Structure 1
Amino acid sequence: MNENAALYFVDRHLDAGRADKVAFQEADGGKRSLTFKQLAEESGRFAGALHRHGVRREERVAMIVQDQIECPVIFWGALKAGAIPVPLNTLLSAPVYDVILNDSRASILVVSEKLWPTVQPVIADNPYLRAVLVIGEAPEGTESYQRFVEGAQILPAVEAHEDEMAFWLYSSGSTGQPKGVRHVHSSLKATADTFGAQVLGIREDDIVFSVAKIFFAYGLGNAMSFPLSVGATTVLLSGRPTPEVVSGILETHRPTLFCGVPTFYAAMNAALEKTGLPQGMSVRLCTSAGEALPREVGERWHRLTGTEIVDGVGSTEMLHIFLSNRPGEIVYGTSGTAVPGYEVRLVDEHDEDVGEGAVGELLVRGPSAADGYWNKRHKSRSTFEGHWTRTGDKYECTADGRYIYCGRTDDMFKVSGIWVSPFEVEQALVEHPAVLEAAVVACADDKGLDKPKAYVVLNEGQDAAAVENLKEFVKEKIGMWKYPRWVEVVDDLPKTATGKIQRFKLRAQV
């Protein structure tokens, strides 16, 4: 039995009568669309082009590709060929691309034309690349993507086992250098069958738009595996998702499922309070992941739009969300309960289960766990322990079984001998009307003892004087010892392209 994931997510729809239905629609760029039939044919043609070029099974095909029509064609085409697609963050710098391309040993690289100037400096000295394909006008030393696939035979998906390597994703680097995370064919369907079907309740008539890009594990599920699992339509945005641009998409394309990240919901809240809701907005449900959604942000969005945000927790290592709130059962400020098909537990530093109300590291087991990291054996052994995967997140579990995010293991610190959750302090800070975003790290006082320091981004129209009462505000909200001893106003916070705050960069400044 052929268990190549491309058969289920792409080719199956032709026999199901969806050949002429739009699978992907561009919201910008060329504003092109791709039907399920075209996706099946073009991905088969890309597989044929790889075969014609001599690409063998398990060779890596690196993708520095914006969310555009070619992106799903290349991803599923590589799977059909038995090659390993490696979607990369499209907002990285040249030195990071250099590290990843050498680490992955990709033999083929596909680049969107707009991203070529960033990538170009690292290509000449790469010893592994045999071909560099540019989507658009191909500069000297590269080949046009269109020419590469032109006239290629349309190949069927190669025989693959469900446990066979399918694709890699590089972690977003919220705690340092990205790591290659290896996933098998069955992982994609596992996430669609669990969160996609049983929490999101995705339907064939849905139109999906994801602020999170496809290179991000969260975005890959939102924009690719979930809609393709039921024959729904995805709206693609290649450019930057500003509140103005997204409001236009909500009005013009009228998605029914909207997938965002906490920082974007905060920005959208501020914008919608000025402009009002987009005309004809048809969103029935929203999701959030990447980082815990602050309670105030979720409640504010709900008040403004009347639409729930299903906040959940996922990771590149688990491919998508495994801990989540449920539609109709949202408790903002919590991460909900385990997604059907997954188990979670909280453990202390001795790997003993912790009790109700105590803080512990979150471990998870489920069908979409990665096969390990590439070229990082020690890290693989410390993260993937049998059936359980360490998340590196600290949580506590309430009496009713809901999980509350406390922070990354590396971000937690003690004040007066008591654990302090940076996220709890940040959540209190953003409830202040002057504050748009906040990040909290440990900073040593003049006695060498750790105390909270806050970096805050102010709402438009606010000035530094607005933060004078922040310390007292936090004291009243969450407790005397947790308030930030120092508050620094900044223009923005360091984040990954997926919206996660990079607190390790702030710690390096204190």
Structure 2
Amino acid sequence: MPNSDDGSTLYFNAAVDLIDHNIQAGRGGKTAVIDSRGSHTYQDLSDNVNRFANALKDMGIEPEQRIVLCLNDTIDLPVAFLGAIKAGVIPVPINTRLTEKDYKYIINDSRATALFVSDDLFSLFEGHVNDHQSLKAIVISGKKGNVENNLSALLEAESTEFSAAQTRHDDMCFWLYTSGTTGMPKGTVHLHGNLRATADLYAKQTLGVREDDIMFSAAKLFFAYGLGNGLTFPFSIGATVILLEGPPTPDAVCQILRDHSPTVFYGVPTLFGMLLASNVLPKAGEHHLRVCTSAGEALPADLLSRWQRHVGVDILDGIGSTEMLHIFISNRPGDVRPGATGKAVEGYDIRLTGDDGQVVSQGEMGALEISGPSSGLMYWNQRTKSLDTFQGPWTRAGDKYRQDEEGYYIYCGRTDDMLKVGGIYVSPFEVEGAMIEHDDVLEVAVIGKADADDLIKPKAVIVLKDASIDQNKMREDLQEYAKSKLAAYKYPRWIDFVDELPKTATGKIQRYKLRD
């Protein structure tokens, strides 16, 4: 938005940046979104974004007030998200897999003035919507709801013309709540300029997305990872995105790979493993993929190798965070290092610090800190935690890494998951990476457990590919296998077998639940 009020203030609205430029470039008739309801062009998207912005104004929702979006992945979510931004209102897309207690907390914490919710999720709000003094309106996406509070009916009544709010690059734009793996979720405040930064630096320069790409993200739009994959990146270049309304099961994902021919697929390690374990994953020559990406947890080298052999394309592993909005360290096309997260994305600076706060030497393990243009501003209403995470230009990730002699960053584990065995740090991820190579292991998580002398040693919790295997014999076999792969003090002293590991909705293993 290159206009200014006094010749010195440059306005910038993220929704204008992502949508209006596609109309101006003549892409109005091109398919922007494919969802369970059909195909939607960029003109359809633009018109409904403007309708949504007008609806908020008519509802009395003011700029900088918050609205909560608890919506499944259909066209309604990008319409609501971008429509709010265009109106200067702050959208707060939230996880659709939380509990009633979580939802009540988020509405209270954000002081939301309106709730937009998919009809199949509304039952989790019914019991407390009248308890929120700030909540002015509830709008239903889907078939339920009357004319007054049904989203489709609301949009039909509005104009397709809207003059965007005169926001600026550093104005508050949207919030994302963290997944809450260790407590109640925290609202991360992001700015209007942050979306473009991730598109320019990661999507275009690192991943190499193109206008002719068809993109599909298994990670949902309410996650920072999914928001970039399924909204920011395709709209930034006029590409097409496929949205999956339901859960990303192997059958659902593979049907999309076959029926819609995506060229870019964004996944997580757990899903890649599930797809390889299924019998429906297309092989090389049976799909149109040119690149896949992974985030959420570090990608084991063995999983990458098996994917390359079966599918015939690389997975570009990377690390991002809600606080940094998207990926800031990544492998690149043509430069994939198995077992490594890659190198810093251009535009981001990385440092690793020791317990004393000083930068560690190359090769040594340290706490990961990032400086870059997509960093969040703070956690809403969380002063102490904000100061711990957002330290001047640096953002603390909560992960331990080391950098090898060639400049690649190697994941060692979450800071609070690290084990100290005999006075030496042990990375749970290193132990997991060794054990996942065993032919009978489907998934593994390593935690610390105190022995008879109250000293911490590694313990493995494992999901077997075949649950009928003799577990006593398998326990001995796996311990010997680990000893052959690792330094002696790193092998798991105890092994438990489970049917499944506890995970967040992003696919991250919740090790604290295993410790409990």
| 1:50-77 CA-partner distances (Å, limit 9, x unpaired) | 0001100011110100110111100000
- Residue 392 (structure 1) aligned with residue 398 (structure 2): yes
Partners of 2:195 and 2:468 in 1: CA distance: 45
Q: 1:56-71, aligned counterparts within 5 Å? A: 56-71=62-77
Aligned to 1:44: 50
Structure 1 residue matching 2:127: 3-state secondary structure? helix
- Residue 254 (structure 1) aligned with residue 261 (structure 2): yes
Structure 2 residue matching 1:469: 3-state secondary structure? helix
Aligned to 1:424: 430
Aligned to 2:348: 342
Partners of 2:282 and 2:170 in 1: CA distance: 48
Q: 1:109-128, aligned counterparts within 5 Å? A: 109-128=115-134
After TM superposition, the score normalised by the length of structure 1 is 0.96
Q: Structure 2: 5+ residue runs without aligned partners?
A: 4-10
| 1:467-506 CA-partner distances (Å, limit 9, x unpaired) | 4311111111121111111111111111110111111111
Aligned to 2:7: none
After TM superposition, the score normalised by the length of structure 2 is 0.95
Structure 1 residue 460: deviation in Å?
A: 4.0
Structure 1 residue 351: deviation in Å?
A: 1.2
Aligned to 2:484: 476
Indicate if the aligned counterparts of 1:87 and 1:168 stay in contact, CA closer than 8 A.
Answer: yes
Partners of 1:159 and 1:386 in 2: CA distance: 27
Indicate if the aligned counterparts of 1:208 and 1:255 stay in contact, CA closer than 8 A.
Answer: yes
Aligned to 2:16: 7
Aligned to 2:105: 99
Indicate if the aligned counterparts of 2:265 and 2:289 stay in contact, CA closer than 8 A.
Answer: yes
| 1:424-444 CA-partner distances (Å, limit 9, x unpaired) | 111111111111111111110
Partners of 2:284 and 2:468 in 1: CA distance: 26
Structure 2 residue matching 1:143: 3-state secondary structure? coil
Q: What is the letter of the counterpart of residue 39 of structure 2?
A: S
Indicate if the aligned counterparts of 1:46 and 1:73 stay in contact, CA closer than 8 A.
Answer: yes
69-78 vs 167-176, greater mean Cα deviation: 167-176
- Residue 436 (structure 1) aligned with residue 442 (structure 2): yes
- Residue 176 (structure 1) aligned with residue 183 (structure 2): yes
Q: Structure 1: 5+ residue runs without aligned partners?
A: none
Partners of 2:345 and 2:309 in 1: CA distance: 26
| 1:223-276 CA-partner distances (Å, limit 9, x unpaired) | 01011111000000010111111111000000000000010001011114x765
**Which of 248, 253, 262 in structure 2 is aligned with 1:241?**
248
- Residue 331 (structure 1) aligned with residue 337 (structure 2): yes
Structure 1 residue matching 2:417: 3-state secondary structure? coil
Structure 1 residue matching 2:442: 3-state secondary structure? strand
Q: What is the letter of the counterpart of residue 250 of structure 2?
A: P
Indicate if the aligned counterparts of 1:436 and 1:457 stay in contact, CA closer than 8 A.
Answer: yes
Identity of aligned residues (%): 49
Distance change in 2, residues 1:386/1:150 (3 Å): same
Partners of 2:19 and 2:317 in 1: CA distance: 28
Aligned pair count reads 504
Partners of 1:141 and 1:122 in 2: CA distance: 22
Partners of 2:31 and 2:64 in 1: CA distance: 30
Aligned to 1:268: 275
482-491 vs 131-140, greater mean Cα deviation: 131-140
Indicate if the aligned counterparts of 2:284 and 2:311 stay in contact, CA closer than 8 A.
Answer: no
Structure 2 residue matching 1:424: 3-state secondary structure? helix
| 1:372-430 CA-partner distances (Å, limit 9, x unpaired) | 10000111111111101111100011111111111111100211111010111111111
- Residue 495 (structure 1) aligned with residue 484 (structure 2): no
**Which of 146, 167, 173 in structure 2 is aligned with 1:160?**
167
Indicate if the aligned counterparts of 2:13 and 2:86 stay in contact, CA closer than 8 A.
Answer: yes
Indicate if the aligned counterparts of 2:217 and 2:230 stay in contact, CA closer than 8 A.
Answer: yes
Partners of 1:448 and 1:496 in 2: CA distance: 30
Structure 1 residue matching 2:215: 3-state secondary structure? strand
Partners of 1:275 and 1:227 in 2: CA distance: 24
458-467 vs 162-171, greater mean Cα deviation: 458-467
Aligned to 2:359: 353
Structure 1 residue 356: deviation in Å?
A: 2.1
Aligned to 2:192: 185
Distance change in 2, residues 1:9/1:141 (3 Å): closer
Partners of 1:467 and 1:243 in 2: CA distance: 29
Aligned to 2:8: none
Partners of 1:325 and 1:58 in 2: CA distance: 37
Q: What is the letter of the counterpart of residue 385 of structure 1?
A: Q
Indicate if the aligned counterparts of 1:174 and 1:501 stay in contact, CA closer than 8 A.
Answer: no
Aligned to 2:27: 18
Distance change in 2, residues 1:126/1:399 (3 Å): same
Partners of 1:136 and 1:244 in 2: CA distance: 24
Structure 1 residue 278: deviation in Å?
A: 8.4
Partners of 1:146 and 1:312 in 2: CA distance: 38
Indicate if the aligned counterparts of 2:296 and 2:506 stay in contact, CA closer than 8 A.
Answer: yes
